[in-house]
Amino acid sequence: MSRYEREFGTDWEALDKDEATDRAYAIGVAERLGEYNREELEAIYAEMNSAYHKSMVELAYDEGRNEAKEAAETTSADRDALWADLVNGEKTYIDESDVPTGGRDGLPSALDSSELLDKQSIDSTDAVDKPDFLDR
């Protein structure tokens, strides 16, 4: 029995779009981990009654495959841990070469809030003063 079958089961009678996308994502993850379940994916896809919902199922499946591939490449976690983190948890795997490194706390200098505070005094009332051209 595959991870997907243990976690979700395959004896459903009807699915809403949220359940369908969750299952499609899990099937994508499972496929990258070496467990194929195309019949279940096709059944989920057939259950959707609009092109929009079908495309959401496809996107969820692709996202599951992509995230599982990225996680497998960037960590040394075993397949069960990857499954648990991606399908059951909230853990996100980030490639360290993609993390910004400039400025304070890795933020680009344009977004560094301390620089914004230095440019304008906190007690300044210039923004609410009467414009100079009205003082004639």
Burial class of 101 by CB neighbour count within 10 A (0 to 12, 13 to 18, 19+): exposed
pLDDT, tens digit, 9 for 90 and up, residues 94-116: 555 555 555 555 556 665 555 55
pLDDT, tens digit, 9 for 90 and up, residues 43-56: 999 999 899 999 99
Q: How confident is the model at residue 90 (pLDDT cuts 50, 70, 90)?
A: low
Neighbours of 35 (CB within 10 A): 16
Exposure on the CB side of residue 94, measured as CA atoms within 13 A: 8
Is 64:32 a contact under the CB 8 Å cutoff? yes
